[in-house]
A = this chain, B = another copy of it.
């Protein structure tokens, strides 16, 4: 029996991209619903400057307000030492810290206005601080499969950065397909190489659905041995590049695919679809996931599937 971990990133990576401010109470209600869906991991907040990402300015209120099962490991994103200082004030409200860097110089510069080496020098220190706090440190490498500014990104460059994070104490390495440039053949090769290169480290796939290949990439990574994935309920968020594109893969579509293949996720698909539909109401627009329309697959003979 194959089992995978899915981290629900909608409350951070998803909400972050919403142009209209989502009321804190709605965020809390949606996260509580996701907590009941059976996720073992949810990314819930970001300690970035509120003037940079106003949508996530209520991160502390969200952390204080949510009520999820103890089994849920909550993650916060931290961009720098100031962010970690602020996060650690709330030390008892979360379990995992995500640090990040872009594999491509141009994207890193545009994203955090530093060179990759400057970001990594900081990250070397941050990882150790996170580990010293007895928190799980998950490092994320953006543009792992291609950069919209630089084109191809060498696998060796990405894996060198990953190894450096691991050497300093990161126990999870996430590889982000920031603008959806991965394809399943490359996903398969990449994750086989990453798993071999990073023994003892959890290797996580974060795909986007920019050209509709998100689930194909997830399947290819699974075939390569990847057992940890990130996705966003309702297909919220991600990086809509080119403009108007979809970003993150939808959690409900990923879970549906896994369950249909008898891959266990621990997640209740009906509950996730319910959360996605609730998000649709909160945001007042139609979301783009497929299962939100189709519902889960129904193998029961004679049942009118149109009724879903």
Contact = CB atoms under 8 A, between A and B. Distances in A.
Interface in A167-188: 179-181, 183-186
Contact of A305 (B185, B218, B241, B298): B241
Interface of A is mostly: loop
A298 B152 CA distance: 10
A132 interface: no
A146 interface: yes
A250 interface: yes
A233 to B, nearest CB: 13
Interface stretch (A18-26, A43-51, A133-141, A205-213): A205-213
A16 interface: no
A216 B290 CA distance: 14
Nearest to A2: B185
Given A152-B299, A302-B149, A305-B148, A261 B293 contact: no
Contacts of A215: 184, 212-213, 215-216
B294 A257 contact: no
A285 B187 CA distance: 34
A242 B186 contact: no
Copies of this protein, total: 2
A289 B290 CA distance: 12
A216 B257 CA distance: 9
A284 interface: no
Contact of A211 (B152, B262, B291, B301): B291
B257 A183 contact: yes
Contacts of A306: 241-243
Contact of A294 (B180, B290, B293, B299): B180
A151 B300 contact: yes
Contacts of A219: 184-185, 216, 219-220
Interface in A218-243: 218-220, 241-243
Contacts of A85: none
Contact of A253 (B212, B253, B301): B212
A229 to B, nearest CB: 13
A258 B209 CA distance: 15
A32 interface: no
Contacts of A149: 301-302
A115 B210 CA distance: 43
28 contacts: A148-B298, A151-B299, A152-B299, A180-B294, A181-B297, A183-B257, A183-B261, A184-B215, A184-B219, A185-B261, A209-B290, A210-B294, A211-B290, A211-B297, A212-B249, A212-B289, A212-B291, A213-B253, A213-B256, A213-B260, A215-B215, A219-B220, A242-B293, A242-B306, A242-B307, A244-B293, A245-B293, A246-B290
Interface of A: 146, 148-152, 179-181, 183-186, 209-216, 218-220, 241-246, 249-250, 253, 256-257, 260-262, 289-291, 293-295, 297-302, 305-308
